Structure 1
Amino acid sequence: MTGFRVSVPASTANLGSGFDALGMALGLRDELEFEARADGLVVEVSGEGATVPTDESHLVVRAFREACAQVDVKVSGLRLRCRNAIPHSRGLGSSAAAVVAGVAAAYAFAGRELDTDALQLAAEFEGHADNAAAGMFGGVVVAWTVGTRYRFARLDPHPDVRPVVLVPDVESSTKTTRGLLPATVPHADAAFAAGRSALAVHALTRDPALLVEALDDRLHEPYRQPAWPATSALVTALRAAGVAAAVSGAGPTVLALPEGGVLPAGVDTSGFATRPLPVDLAGVTVAPLG
């Protein structure tokens, strides 16, 4: 094949207390074309993140090169076209989507189906598997590690889970927000987080009526509030109005799961763009360039 078209969804992670463990794919997609050339690299980017590097340091290219080496396929020259819809540095898995796209394209050139080794590649590159597994396989995911191996379980969400994301103009750095986390937390808070993350799995897949309680968190959101005070205030306001809400990934986007997929009147969302998005069930898709 001379090339492939790759479509990869956004994702939201943590889902309350499920820090680095729970993820969910969202119906907002980056579209990429990988075309083999005799030599050289051409990168064209439009949409979100159009100012990113267009050389070998581009994240998609780096992931693609690493995955090609791992699956023993050689693509000497490459034309990469990226039409990005996922906002960058907003907690919606844009970097995970880039990595997943690169890995999926390398597997396609090698004539291989995506598997657990593909997730291992993407998660190692990304640093954790929650966003990567959601972007690769869709739906709701639970991610964990066994030694150095990343593992995941994919679950189908309840049909009444209808996400709404509220995206501010400001960006947030995962590295910065992780730096705000303490080395230890009180045992009571750890127990609270364990119960809420387990409840979140049940609520997302079986009983959405429990989502307000399930998405409550003491493990990371309170410590990272100084990084995005407006985000934290909006989460608090939504929860006070009876809406299940949490910080999406490292923020500053807010994930809301309102009943019926509609936010109630009276909650001040100024400064945030409101976007209803379905749960994406397909994950990354790959097709030959026509």
Structure 2
Amino acid sequence: MTFTVRAPASSANLGPGFDSLGLSVPLYTTVRVTPQAVTEVVPLGADLAGTPADERNYVYQAMTLAARRAGRSLPPARIEIETQVPLARGLGSSAAALVAGIVAGNELLGGPLDTETVLDVAAREEGHPDNVAPALLGGIVVATLDRLGTHYVRLTPPAHLGVTVLVPDFELSTSKARAVLPGEYSRADAVHALSHAALLVGALAQGRLDLLRHAMQDYIHQTWRAPLVPGLSDILDEAWRHGALGAALSGAGPTVLCFHDTRHATAPLHAYLQGVMARSGLTGQVMDFPIDEAGTLVER
């Protein structure tokens, strides 16, 4: 019997929450699985052109991770994959594919893994939980990974909190964005990161939208990655003047995320972000989204 798994995109870090904080966005990677005698992997759509159409495919490899954790062999199936998540843009495309694959593999096996185990498998494969946790659970998620497991708190998004994303038309690999980070940080930068991450989580938990601009300041990764994303420094400094509640580099970039108050028009913020792109010689899209609260869904 055919079933479908749908996993959302995600935006990680949100400023100071490096490798530990993220939220889900309603752009989806979808995997349709039909048990049959021989395995087929079928990437669909222009966005997945050139991705492996065999067992080397990342979604299929993710399915095998579920089987390995369950101590089982993965049954053969036809696996169709499509995505709305732009690749290498800082919106968790690999995390959506990973989570969709692990959940699909678990479902194909009859569901031997619970949600916490699925999350742990995904976080260990990714190396950090900030994208995979919201992709799986939806909403806003704070998570850590250690030798004992993956531990998380899921936050219901505050009322009236919306997301605006600026998605430039160029790719930025996570490996390149990580390569520019320093090997060591000063005590002052560490204290700044800890205090602002704590303030950001508290503000999100209590719906203190007025604190987001201050809480989202970061010196751990955004300062170093700014040269890779033209216009980022300007947006981080000035977006609040045009209606943003706060701004951050989305994941490793180049997408930039701004929070907005859904009770207010976003046209001034859109105009500002499009102006930044134009001055930087870039093209791209500016889009408004709610925060996806459903996370990964399975439909039969």
TM-score category (smaller protein): over 0.9
Instruction: Summarize the Cα distance change of 1:199–1:221 in structure 2 as closer, same or farther, 3 Å threshold.
Output: same
> What is the aligned partner in structure 2 of residue 30 from structure 1?
29
Q: State the alpha-carbon separation in 2 of the partners of residues 106 and 52 from structure 1.
A: 19
Q: State the alpha-carbon separation in 2 of the partners of residues 130 and 283 from structure 1.
A: 14
C-alpha deviation, 1:259, in angstroms: 2.6
C-alpha deviation, 1:42, in angstroms: 3.0
> What is the aligned partner in structure 2 of residue 12 from structure 1?
11
Q: Which amino acid in 2 is paired with 1:15?
A: L
**Root mean square deviation, CA, Å:** 1.8
Q: State the alpha-carbon separation in 1 of the partners of residues 144 and 191 from structure 2.
A: 18
What 5-or-longer segments of structure 1 have no aligned partner? none
SS, match of residue 268 in structure 2: coil
> What is the aligned partner in structure 1 of residue 288 from structure 2?
276
How is 1:4-153 mapped onto 2 (pairs within 5 angstroms)? 4-112=3-111, 114-147=114-147, 149-153=149-153
CA contact (8 A) 1:47 1:83 kept: no
C-alpha deviation, 1:188, in angstroms: 1.0
Q: Say if 2:220 is the partner of 1:215.
A: no
CA contact (8 A) 1:31 1:84 kept: yes
> What is the aligned partner in structure 2 of residue 238 from structure 1?
239
What 5-or-longer segments of structure 2 have no aligned partner? 278-282
TM-score of the aligned structures, taking structure 1 as reference length = 0.93
Q: State the alpha-carbon separation in 2 of the partners of residues 75 and 150 from structure 1.
A: 24
Q: Which amino acid in 2 is paired with 1:278?
A: P
> What is the aligned partner in structure 1 of residue 258 from structure 2?
256
**Greater shift in the superposed pair: 146-155 or 258-267:** 258-267
Instruction: Summarize the Cα distance change of 1:268–1:72 in structure 2 as closer, same or farther, 3 Å threshold.
Output: closer
CA contact (8 A) 1:36 1:75 kept: no
SS, match of residue 104 in structure 1: helix
> What is the aligned partner in structure 1 of residue 181 from structure 2?
181
C-alpha deviation, 1:93, in angstroms: 0.5
CA contact (8 A) 1:231 1:253 kept: no
Q: State the alpha-carbon separation in 1 of the partners of residues 67 and 56 from structure 2.
A: 16
Q: State the alpha-carbon separation in 2 of the partners of residues 44 and 147 from structure 1.
A: 35
Q: State the alpha-carbon separation in 1 of the partners of residues 66 and 38 from structure 2.
A: 18
CA contact (8 A) 1:29 1:84 kept: yes
CA contact (8 A) 1:104 1:114 kept: no
CA contact (8 A) 1:164 1:275 kept: yes
SS, match of residue 118 in structure 2: helix
CA contact (8 A) 1:103 1:118 kept: yes
SS, match of residue 258 in structure 1: strand
TM-score of the aligned structures, taking structure 2 as reference length = 0.90
Q: Say if 2:166 is the partner of 1:166.
A: yes
Instruction: Summarize the Cα distance change of 1:242–1:215 in structure 2 as closer, same or farther, 3 Å threshold.
Output: farther
Instruction: Summarize the Cα distance change of 1:222–1:240 in structure 2 as closer, same or farther, 3 Å threshold.
Output: farther
CA contact (8 A) 1:161 1:204 kept: no
SS, match of residue 239 in structure 2: helix
**Greater shift in the superposed pair: 106-115 or 195-204:** 106-115
SS, match of residue 161 in structure 2: coil
Q: Which amino acid in 1 is paired with 2:255?
A: T
Q: Which amino acid in 1 is paired with 2:13?
A: N
Deviating beyond 6 angstroms after TM superposition, the runs of 4 or more aligned structure 1 residues are none
SS, match of residue 267 in structure 1: helix
C-alpha deviation, 1:239, in angstroms: 3.9
The Cα offsets for residues 110-159 of structure 1, whole Å up to 9 and x where unpaired, read as 32264211111111111111111100011111111233522111111102
**Greater shift in the superposed pair: 119-128 or 144-153:** 144-153
Instruction: Summarize the Cα distance change of 1:26–1:268 in structure 2 as closer, same or farther, 3 Å threshold.
Output: closer
SS, match of residue 143 in structure 2: strand
SS, match of residue 12 in structure 1: strand
CA contact (8 A) 1:172 1:250 kept: yes
**Greater shift in the superposed pair: 180-189 or 240-249:** 240-249
C-alpha deviation, 1:85, in angstroms: 0.3
